Chain A
Amino acid sequence: MSVKQFRPGFDRGFHNLTFGLAMSVLVLLAAILAFLVVGSIPVLQNQGLSFFISSDWNPVTDVYGALPAIIQTLITAVIALVIGVPVSFGIAVFLTELSPGWIARPVGVAIELLAAIPSIIYGMWGLFVFAPTFGAALQRWTMANLAPIPVIGPLFASPPMGIGIFTASIILAIMIVPFITAMMRDVFTTVPAVLKESAYGLGCTRWEVIYRVVLPYCRAGTVGAVMLGLGRALGETMAVTFVIGNSHRLSASIMGPGATISSSIANEFVEADSPLHTSALVTLGLTLFVITFIVLAIARLFLLRLKKQAGH
C-alpha cells in the first residue's frame, strides 16, 4: 500500500524537477538580458544616445562612441554572407544532387569537421597563414587596381598588411560555410523525389530543376539557414579578433583595420580600468545581443514554418 502511494508522489516530483529545470532555461535568458541591461546603465546615463551615433571611442578621455564597432560588425557579417552563401549553396547542391553516395558521404563529413573546428583555430590560422599570403596579396592587388578608381577607390585603399575588415570577412565566410551547407543539405533532401523527377521528365536541365523546383520548395528552410549563418557571423569573436586589426575608427576602406563589437569586448574588457569603459563594453554586448536575437528569432520562425510544412 505504502509503495503505491509513494509512486505517484515520486512521479510528480520528477515531473516538477524537469519542469523547473526547463523553466530555468527561460530564467537564464532573462538573466543574461537583465545583467547586460543593468551593466549598460552607467554609460547610457553618462552619454545618452550619443553612445550609438558617435564614432569617437577613446578610453583615455573616457568617451565612448559605438558607431564604428556596430557598423563594422554588420559589414563583416554581410560580406561573409555574400561570399559564403553562394559557396554553401553550391556545396549543398553538389552533396544532394550531383555526387554519388560514396563521394557525398566523405565530403559531407569533411564539411562537418570544418564546422567543428573551434573559432580560435580559424583566428590563428587566419593571422599566421591566411593573412600573410592571400590577404596581403589581395590587398596589394586592390591597392594597385581598385584604389585609383575615383568614387569607389577609397573603399579599397589600405596598407598591404594582410589583416583588416575584408580578411576577417573571408575567415568568417570560411567558418559559416560548413554551418549553412549542413542545414541547406538537410533541407534539400526533404524535396520529394517525385517533384524533381517530373521536372526532369518535362525536359528540365539540372540547373532548372534546382533553381525552379528545389529552391522554391525549400525557400523557408534556406532563408532560415542563411539567417542562422548571419547570427553566427555577427557574434563570432575569436576568429575576428585575430585578423581584424582592432582599430576603433570609422574608415572608408573595407580593406583596412577595424573592430567589431565582439572583438572590442574580447580585447578590452579585462584591461578596462574605468567603470565607464567596462559599462561601454557591456552596452556593446547588449547591442550585439539585441541584433543577434532579432536575426536568430527570424531564422527560427522560418525554420518553424518549415517544420509545420513538413508535418502536413
Chain B
Amino acid sequence: MSVQIPVRRTTERQVSSPYQRRMYMRRRLTSMFHMTMAHLVTALGIAMLAWILWSLFGEGLSAVSLKLFTEMTPPPGSDGGLLNAIVGSLMMVGIATVLGIPIGLLVGTYLAEYGRYAKISAVVRFINDILLSAPSILIGLFVYELVVVPMGHFSGYAGAIALAVIALPVVVRTSEDMLLLVPDSLREAAAALGIPRWRVILQVSYRAAGPGLLTGALLAVARISGETAPLLFTSLNNQFWSANLNHPMANLPVVIFNFAMSPYEDWRALAWAGALLITLAVLGLTIAARILLAAKSRMKG
C-alpha cells in the first residue's frame, strides 16, 4: 500500500515563498470544501429522517383513533379500522419468531461452538450472508412455490413461513457474533469442572451472551414486522376477520400497500395510520435492541 503524502517543510524561507503559500492555501481550500460537503450531506441525511417522520406523524396521527384497534378494514367509502390486519400481522410475526429464532440460534451455536473452525462453517457463513441480503421478494416466490401451490390457496401459514425464512439468517448472524464475544476462558473453566459441552453451551455461553442474543432476536422481529414483499403472494390479504392461519390472512404491510395504491381518500388515511403504527413498532424494537446492547457493554465496563 503506497501512501503518497505531500511534505510541507517548515523552514522559514520555504513557507514564505509565494509558490509554497499558494500551494498550501489551495490544499487547505480543497480540504475545507470537502469537509463542508461532509457536514452538508450529514445535515441532508438527518433532514430526510425528519422529513419522513414529519409526514408520517402529520398524515398518520389524524387517522389514529380507537376505531383503528376495534374495527375491521372497511370497504371503500365507509368507516373502519385495522383490527384484522394488526392481529394478522401479530400472529404471523409471532409464528415466524417462534420458528425462526430457535433454529437460527442453534445454527449460530454450531458456527460459534462446535464448528467454529470447521471448513463447512465457512461455507455456511457465506451462504447465510447471501441469504441475509437476498431480495425478500424472492423468498416470497420461493414460499409461494413451496407452500401455496401444494396447498392450493394462500394462507397465514405461508406468510409466517416466509417471514421465518427472512428472520433466520438475521438470527444466525447475530447469535454467532454474540457467542463469539463470550471469552473462551469461561468455556474452559466450565469444561475443567467436567461439565459436558452441551451444558457449557446452554448454561455458560448462552447465559453470558444472553442480552446479545436477545438483541439479535429483537432486530430480527423488527426486520420482519415491516416486510411486505414476501407476504404479497403468501398470506395475501383478507378484508374480514380471520384468525384461521389456513386461510388468506390480513396483515398490516399488505393492507397499507393496497390501501395506499387505491384512489379512495379514507383508505389512504388508514394506510397512513397503519404506516405510522408499523414505523413506531419497528423503531421501538430497534431502539430497545440498542439500549439492551448499550446496557450490556456498560455492564462489562
Taking a contact as CB atoms under 8 Å apart, the answer to whether A285 and B137 are in contact is: yes
- Total count of chain B residues near the partner, CB < 8 A: 95
A–B Cβ pairs within 8 angstroms, 19 of them: A22-B111, A22-B120, A22-B121, A24-B107, A25-B131, A39-B145, A86-B41, A87-B41, A98-B35, A117-B52, A121-B226, A122-B52, A174-B48, A206-B34, A216-B1, A235-B136, A237-B135, A265-B137, A299-B133
Interface string of A187-210 (1 = CB under 8 A from B): 000000000000100111111101
Q: Which of B185-212 contact A (CB under 8 A)?
A: 196-198, 201
Residue from the list B5, B30, B124 in contact with A25, Cβ < 8 A: B124
CA distance A124 to B275 in the complex (A): 8
Q: Which of B1-39 contact A (CB under 8 A)?
A: 1, 3-8, 10, 27-28, 30-31, 33-35, 37-39
Taking a contact as CB atoms under 8 Å apart, the answer to whether B37 and A90 are in contact is: yes
Taking a contact as CB atoms under 8 Å apart, the answer to whether B38 and A93 are in contact is: yes
Taking a contact as CB atoms under 8 Å apart, the answer to whether A21 and B142 are in contact is: no
Residue from the list B59, B107, B278 in contact with A128, Cβ < 8 A: B59
Q: Which of A266-294 contact B (CB under 8 A)?
A: 266, 269-270, 281-282, 285, 288-289, 292-293
Residue B292, interface by CB 8 Å? no
By secondary structure, the A interface counts as helix
Query: What residues of chain A lie closer than 8 Å to B229, measured between beta carbons?
Result: 119, 237-238, 262, 266
Residue B55, interface by CB 8 Å? yes
Query: What residues of chain A lie closer than 8 Å to B145, measured between beta carbons?
Result: 35, 38-39, 282
Taking a contact as CB atoms under 8 Å apart, the answer to whether B35 and A39 are in contact is: no
Taking a contact as CB atoms under 8 Å apart, the answer to whether B196 and A296 are in contact is: no
Interface string of A22-66 (1 = CB under 8 A from B): 111110110110011011000000000000000000000000000
Taking a contact as CB atoms under 8 Å apart, the answer to whether B133 and A296 are in contact is: yes
Q: Which of B217-274 contact A (CB under 8 A)?
A: 222, 225-229, 232-233, 236, 253, 256-257, 260-261, 268, 271-272
CA distance A232 to B137 in the complex (A): 12
Q: In the complex, how many residue pairs between chain A and chain B have their CB atoms under 8 Å apart?
A: 273
Taking a contact as CB atoms under 8 Å apart, the answer to whether A202 and B49 are in contact is: no
Taking a contact as CB atoms under 8 Å apart, the answer to whether A212 and B5 are in contact is: yes
Taking a contact as CB atoms under 8 Å apart, the answer to whether B35 and A206 are in contact is: yes
Taking a contact as CB atoms under 8 Å apart, the answer to whether B228 and A118 are in contact is: yes
Residue A181, interface by CB 8 Å? yes
Q: Considering only CB atoms, which chain A residue lies closest to B198 in the complex?
A: A14
Residue from the list B28, B42, B126, B136 in contact with A107, Cβ < 8 A: B42
CB distance from B89 to the nearest CB of A (A): 12
Residue from the list A116, A124, A232 in contact with B256, Cβ < 8 A: A124
Residue A112, interface by CB 8 Å? yes
CA distance A25 to B107 in the complex (A): 8
